[in-house]
Structure 1
Amino acid sequence: MTKPDIILVANSPGELSALVEPMVKILSTKNYRIILVLTPCQYASGKEVEYASKIPGISEIISAEKWQKWVFLNQKPRGIKFSPKGVVLFLGGDLAYAVILAKKLKYPACAYLNERIAWRNFFKKFFVRDQAAYDKFSKAASPRKLKLVGDLMVDSVAHQKKWEPEEKVITFMPGSRQWEINYMTPFYQEVLALIKKEEKEAKFQIVSSPFIPAKPLEGAKIIDFEKVHNSEIVITIPGTNTARLAARGIPMIMVFPLNHPEVIPLEGLAELVGRVPFVGKAFKRWLAKNINKKTRFFALPNQKAQKEIVPEIRGEVDPFSVALKVLSLLKEKEKRKRMSLELTQAMGKPGAAKKIVEELDELLSSPA
């Protein structure tokens, strides 16, 4: 008998490491074939296919290029004979891509939601990460379609060590995309030099992404994310990293410099306007200023807790203010302990992937 297909839809580095991996880990224990579809994304690193090919349990990978040929030229991916039975699970990108895919394959579709809800009548189930998200989406979708499952990002680090700090170890996380690394590395180098002036015994590390390797930081050891548990403090940019660090109880400071917003890629029409000579740079500055003003929190654990657990340094930022905050927090051991506890409480417990798979099992076992 042909195995049912589970089609996972995702695109960016954070989604692969924090959402796809924990889902595949549980799905691969079942009698399913797992196919990953990578959809177009302006935030992609270019290394997504290579990274995904190393995730045990994925049988087939459809790249963004192949996906576009399938959608626009009706060129079905070669060598893949889809099962008569299956389900599409959206994990990130544009919900419309999951809708198109499900219609092409005549599969039901479910979605793990984060920021917005759409195609309410089309999706069979919407999985949400916490009560706040459930309350938000319940205004737009029927409660019978919503399922509170927990945070997949917590699942993604459940096997990794929790916070075990070594004295005066400070770690920098520059991101997983080339523009982030190019932008943050020289900034972090200045921060490191300022901290070193005041704290001679400080030891430094920089996390290298599996997608785009970190640039060397003078005076810092290069490590991978799994080894970050030995840090007294981590300095990171916004994104998935803040949630994954929080789930491990690792104290951090989030830095979001908007000194040069023109280097930050935007979505859709906004990015096209941002590339217009003379006008584009001013537009991106205006947009960055407004988004920063309107956004209460950028760090994901702060969003979940609806309060500031992680200090956020954002807007027009200079290395001195970041170094000052790091040195201050480095002296406050009890404050870091409290932060660690609050971070793990905000993120919740693992188990989201298991709950989602139970729902998919039920959907696939029910009559068409």
Structure 2
Amino acid sequence: LALFKLGVHVDVVVTPCTFASGKETAFLLKQEGIRNVYPPERYWAIATGREKIPREQNGCVLFLGGDILHAKRLGKILNYPVAIYSTGRADKNVDLVFVPNQKVKSQVLERVKEEKVKIVGDLMLSSLSYRQLPKNNNQIALFPGSRGHMQSILPFFLAMAEEMKQRDSSLEFVISFSPFIGAEEIKNALKKPNQALGGVCGQFTSDRQIETNLGLKIPYYQNRQYEIMETSTLALTIPGTNTAEMAFYGLPMVVVLPLNIAREIPLEGLVGLIGSIPFVGPIFKEKLIWKKASTIKFTALPNLLVGKEIVPEVRGFLSADNLASFALEIFNDKRLLQEISKTLLTLYPENNADELIANTLVRRWGSARR
């Protein structure tokens, strides 16, 4: 949108990614300021030159995530300079690297000359702002994710909510679904829990709630995640971008990664592609995750940012009962919640990374104007 406001033509190529929900193309088509959207199934035709995309006299490739090889390939096809936004990875052959902070810049400088690196702030959070909404001291938010493993996580989180509600009747729960999740996917998740992880079944009610088999009713919303983050006291979530968004709002969280469903955990790069091979791929990925799990210190973005545990992470072969006890213990420790919230609020300040990136690209390469 920042590029559109500067009068620039914007074409989006959605590259293959193991973390994708499959709904990105449809979402992008609804966004203002995008001229063309090329879905992942057309990427290889573009990358091999079999399909052409519009090329203006001036322009560049801006890569926002994934395998940098895709960015370099598109740059070569279009004969454009390549700029990337990086949270750690970079390539000496790209023309410009935008980074969120000094820590990432230091990492990138091991591979890229300093004149190519520019700090702009955290792009993930550049559109966020505080609305000064009142906090609900009894509200716990459930964020079951946007990828395929939502099917397993949602029943698991509902079982946790039932257990916690039985122990403390004053608790209020709310579910935030990703805009990339469809109603049918939610219905399917509510029909049958994953036996490897456990959970409870449920159904939609007429007043936009999910009712579990034990009668617990929880309201659910889409596209209101930031309101929920600002008004909740604690969140239950899986690792992902939303852990940084929660940190922006100072929302304490328990980050859950059940290795019971290791086959459903997406992985990057070649390993992720191998893991998608029918039959043998999931077995390979499961064994690899089990082997590497003990060597990974953190998965939550706030913890990764500072190199220590600020928000609690729970990994391993999990059960809803035990995790409910742990989450309730965190929720009832008001001093701890205050300390976590105060620390989180210092990590991700408001920024205008999108505008800084757009202005830099236009100044440097005179990107094609409408």
TM-score interval (norm. to shorter): 0.7 to 0.9
Counterpart of 2:219 (choices 218, 221, 225) is 221
Counterpart of 1:84 (choices 31, 34, 57) is 57
- 1:180–1:91 distance in 2 versus 1, CA, 3 Å: same
Partner of 1:195: 164
Identify the range of structure 1 (208-217 vs 297-306) with the bigger mean alpha-carbon deviation: 208-217
Partner of 2:14: 38
Taking the aligned partners of 2:269 and 2:60, their CA distance within structure 1 comes to: 28
Contact 1:176 1:212 (C-alpha < 8 Å) held by counterparts: yes
Taking the aligned partners of 2:112 and 2:24, their CA distance within structure 1 comes to: 32
Counterpart of 2:139 (choices 154, 164, 169) is 169
TM-score by length of 2: 0.84
Identify the range of structure 1 (281-290 vs 337-346) with the bigger mean alpha-carbon deviation: 281-290
Spell out the pairing of 1:334-353 with structure 2 (5 A cutoff): 334-353=335-354
- 1:189–1:269 distance in 2 versus 1, CA, 3 Å: same
Taking the aligned partners of 1:108 and 1:281, their CA distance within structure 2 comes to: 38
Q: How many residues align?
A: 335
Q: Secondary structure at the match of 2:10?
A: strand
Taking the aligned partners of 1:161 and 1:364, their CA distance within structure 2 comes to: 36
Taking the aligned partners of 1:96 and 1:108, their CA distance within structure 2 comes to: 14
TM-score by length of 1: 0.84
Tell which has more relative contact order, 1 or 2 (C-alpha 8 A, sep 6+).
2
Instruction: Using the aligned pairs only, state the percent identity.
Output: 33
1:109-155: CA deviation from partner (whole Å, max 9, x where unpaired): 1110124222x12x111111122111111111111111111101221
Partner of 1:212: 181
Taking the aligned partners of 1:277 and 1:85, their CA distance within structure 2 comes to: 43
1:38-76: CA deviation from partner (whole Å, max 9, x where unpaired): 111232222111111222222221222222222236122
Partner of 1:60: 36
**Residue 329 of structure 1, CA deviation:** 2.2
Q: State yes or no: 1:318 paired with 2:294.
A: no
- 1:170–1:354 distance in 2 versus 1, CA, 3 Å: same
- The alignment yields a C-alpha RMSD, in angstroms, of 2.3
Contact 2:49 2:77 (C-alpha < 8 Å) held by counterparts: no
Partner of 1:112: 85
Taking the aligned partners of 2:267 and 2:308, their CA distance within structure 1 comes to: 27
Taking the aligned partners of 2:303 and 2:277, their CA distance within structure 1 comes to: 35
Taking the aligned partners of 2:96 and 2:258, their CA distance within structure 1 comes to: 38
**Residue 282 of structure 1, CA deviation:** 5.0
**Residue 28 of structure 1, CA deviation:** 2.2
- 1:124–1:207 distance in 2 versus 1, CA, 3 Å: same
Note the residue ranges of structure 1 that are not aligned, 5 or more in a row. Answer: 1-23
Note the residue ranges of structure 2 that are not aligned, 5 or more in a row. Answer: 187-203, 205-209
Partner of 1:20: none
Contact 1:161 1:226 (C-alpha < 8 Å) held by counterparts: no
- 1:48–1:200 distance in 2 versus 1, CA, 3 Å: same
1:235 alignment partner AA = L
Taking the aligned partners of 2:278 and 2:51, their CA distance within structure 1 comes to: 37
Contact 2:160 2:323 (C-alpha < 8 Å) held by counterparts: yes
Taking the aligned partners of 1:266 and 1:295, their CA distance within structure 2 comes to: 14
Q: Secondary structure at the match of 2:235?
A: strand
Q: Secondary structure at the match of 1:221?
A: strand
1:304-338: CA deviation from partner (whole Å, max 9, x where unpaired): 12221111011222212321222122222232222
Taking the aligned partners of 2:100 and 2:341, their CA distance within structure 1 comes to: 20
Partner of 2:74: 101
Partner of 1:135: 106
- 1:282–1:298 distance in 2 versus 1, CA, 3 Å: same
Taking the aligned partners of 1:37 and 1:335, their CA distance within structure 2 comes to: 44
Partner of 2:232: 231
1:182-215: CA deviation from partner (whole Å, max 9, x where unpaired): 1101211211111011111211111111101372
Taking the aligned partners of 1:365 and 1:275, their CA distance within structure 2 comes to: 40
Contact 2:133 2:227 (C-alpha < 8 Å) held by counterparts: no
1:292 alignment partner AA = A
Counterpart of 1:154 (choices 125, 148, 157) is 125
1:169 alignment partner AA = Q
- 1:195–1:136 distance in 2 versus 1, CA, 3 Å: same
Taking the aligned partners of 1:126 and 1:363, their CA distance within structure 2 comes to: 13
**Residue 348 of structure 1, CA deviation:** 2.8
1:275-306: CA deviation from partner (whole Å, max 9, x where unpaired): 67886555333311233222211100111122
Contact 1:249 1:341 (C-alpha < 8 Å) held by counterparts: yes
Taking the aligned partners of 2:49 and 2:112, their CA distance within structure 1 comes to: 34
Taking the aligned partners of 1:318 and 1:51, their CA distance within structure 2 comes to: 35
1:226 alignment partner AA = Y
